Amino acid sequence: MDRVHHEATCSALEPPSHRFTDRIRLSDGRWLYLYGDKRTSGVVVRDGRGLSPLAFSSTLRRDPASDEWVIMAPHRASRTTAQSDGCALCPSTDMLPTEIPVADYDVAVFENRFPALGGTTESGTPDGCGEAEGSMFETAPAAGSCEVVSFSSRHNTSLARLPLSSLRTVIDVWADRTRALNRLSQVQQVVCFENRGAGAGATQSHPHGQIYAYPFVPQRFQLMWDAARRSCGKGLTCLFCRLVAAEELGGQRLVLRTSHWTAFVPFASRWPCEVHLYARRHVPDLQALDEAEAHDLAHALRRVLRCFESVTQEPLPYMAVWIQAPAQSGRDLAHLSLQIFSDRSPGGGIKRPAAGELGAGAFVSEADPEGLARALRALVRE
């Protein structure tokens, strides 16, 4: 990404004030945002690493055979993995400067140094940005944003082991960044996610997640919004509200239910260990939660994540993805939920998607949804 685009994007991403404490410019021009109770205001903080400006080379290419956008980001092949001399997400010290140039923090958010997405496009969306009129091979700017969210300054912890107050700060950060990124004209879908553990593809062992702001709606999300639209077209109420009500009524796949949240193992589970956490009220995204719902989410989320840490002797590596409303249109169709899944089963097996699943998209599940739900219900505790 060139300097002009980078600085323009940063100014557009100015976060709202809720739980926000400080903003720091890193040595290569990226922004770092700090949230929580620890403040650095009045203290001169400088990133002395002398990093060169970002070398951004991503583009979008539309697959003519499937009509899907693919993000082409060859520069990410050289991205930072675990440092041999320390952690890139721990607070900086005199001996080891890191991505976070402060002595301590609650939650830190910064622009990824190796982003798959970034910059701006005049059209605001990739549509209509082909190389030539009628060309089969269509490209577009990889507009959008990629951010890293460090959940804590403590290295040896996890999202499931944070104090409730800290987990609530993380929830506020997800909501704030969703609000800020949704304001960008080129953004179509904001996705907050976590890859927990090396087995889930995490390249840093420090507890962290990421936020991608896509200039298109990813295919799986589009399938969900299309299904919701068809349901409404039949004169039915919200598809997802009805799903939650049916799982609560049946109960055999229920993991927990609180005043504002319901967690269950999905009826058509694809992964050996999979839980979906839904808001019981019809809300489109995290920024739409009221105070009681956000507070209750911290309790419910921690209980579910601790199940993934205790269902086997070693914590299961997992992936977690927030399903939120698209940024531009169709927000009334969406219903906020979190999908958490692992390719490891409580019995020790590993699910490796085969050619038919990855190539044809026809998933063969080896899960036992009702049995898993019984096992997880036995583990749920405050």
Catalytic residue numbers? 208
Structure tokens at 38: 């620890």
- CA torsion angle 123 129 133 135 (round to 10): -170
Distance (Å, whole) CA 28 – CA 100? 13
As a whole number of angstroms, the distance between CA 372 and CA 272 comes to 8
d(CA 138, CA 132): 8
Bridge-based pairing of strands 337-342 and 273-279 is: antiparallel
Structure tokens at 172: 């506020």
Residue 116's SS3 state is: coil
CA dihedral 81, 167, 308, 281 (to 10 degrees): -120
Query: C-alpha distances in angstroms, 129 versus 96, 133, 186?
Result: 44, 9, 13
CA distance 324 to 321: 9
**Which CA distances in Å does 41 have to 21, 24, 35, 91, 361?**
8, 10, 12, 16, 51
Sequence-ordered alpha helix ranges (H) in 137-290: 164-182, 219-233, 239-250
